[in-house]
Structure 1
Amino acid sequence: MSETMVLRAADGSDFDVYTARPEGVPRGGLVLIHEIWGLVDHIRDVADRFAAQGYLVAAPDILSHGGIAPALGAELFALLNDPDENVRLEAQPRMREAMSEMRSPGYAAWAVGALRTVVDWLETQEGVDGRIGAVGFCFGGTYVYLLAASDDRIRAAVPFYGTAPSPERIADISAAVLALYGQHDPALIDALPDVWERMTQAGVDFETVVYPGAGHAFFNDTGSRYRAGEAADAWERVNTFLPEHLDAR
Structure 2
Amino acid sequence: MSASKIEVFKAIPSGEIKGGLLLIHEIWGLVDHIRDVAGRFAEQGYLTYAPDILSKAGMTPKIGQELVELSNDPDEEKRVTVQPLMREKAAPAFDPEYAEWAVATLRGVVDELADQPGVDGRLAVLGFCFGGTYSFALAAADDRIKAAVPFYGAPADLGAVSAIGCPVLAIYGDQDERLMTGLPDVEAAMKAAGVDFTAKVYPGAAHAFFNDAGPRYDEKAATDAWQLSLDFLRRSL
User: What TM bracket, shorter-length normalisation?
Assistant: over 0.9
Q: Deviations over 1:172-221 (max 9, x none)?
A: 11110000000000000011111111100100000111001100000000
Moved more, 130-139 or 22-31: 22-31
In percent, how many aligned pairs have the same letter?
56
After TM superposition, the runs of 4+ consecutive aligned structure 1 residues lying more than 4 A away are none
Residue 70 (structure 1) aligns with? 61
5+ residue gaps, structure 2, are: none
Q: Decide whether the 8 Å contact of 1:38 with 1:64 is kept in 2.
A: yes
The answer to whether 1:212 aligns with 2:203 is yes
Q: CA deviation at 1:84?
A: 2.8
Residue 100 of structure 1, CA deviation: 1.9
- Counting only pairs closer than 5 Å after superposition, residues 18-57 of structure 1 correspond to structure 2 as 18-57=9-48
Give the aligned CA root-mean-square deviation in angstroms. 1.3
* 1:160-171 equivalences in 2 (<5 Å): 160-171=151-162
Task: Tell me the CA shift for residue 14 of structure 1.
Answer: 2.5
Question: Partners of 1:93 and 1:242 in 2: how far apart?
Answer: 36
Contact 1:25–1:126 (CA<8 Å) still a contact in 2?
no
1:119 to partner: Cα distance: 0.7
Distance of 1:239 and 1:103 partners within structure 2: 30
Q: Give the distance between the partners of 2:74 and 2:185, measured in 1 at CA.
A: 35
Q: 2:181 is matched with which residue: 174, 190, 207?
A: 190
Q: Corresponding residue for 2:222? A: 231
Q: Structure 2: which amino acid aligns with 1:56? A: L
When the two structures are aligned, how many residues end up with a matched partner?
Answer: 237
Unpaired segments ≥5 residues, structure 1? 1-9
Q: How does 1:1-249 map to 2 (within 5 A)?
A: 11=2, 13-246=4-237
The structure richer in helix per residue is 2
CA deviation map 1:79-133 (0-9, x unaligned): 2233332112233332221022212341101110111011101111111110000
Please tell me whether the aligned partners of residues 180 and 208 of structure 1 are also in contact (alpha carbons under 8 angstroms).
yes
TM-score of the superposition, structure 1-length normalised? 0.92
> Contact 1:112–1:147 at 8 Å: present in 2 too?
yes
In structure 2, the CA distance between the partners of 1:94 and 1:167, relative to structure 1 (3 Å rule), is closer
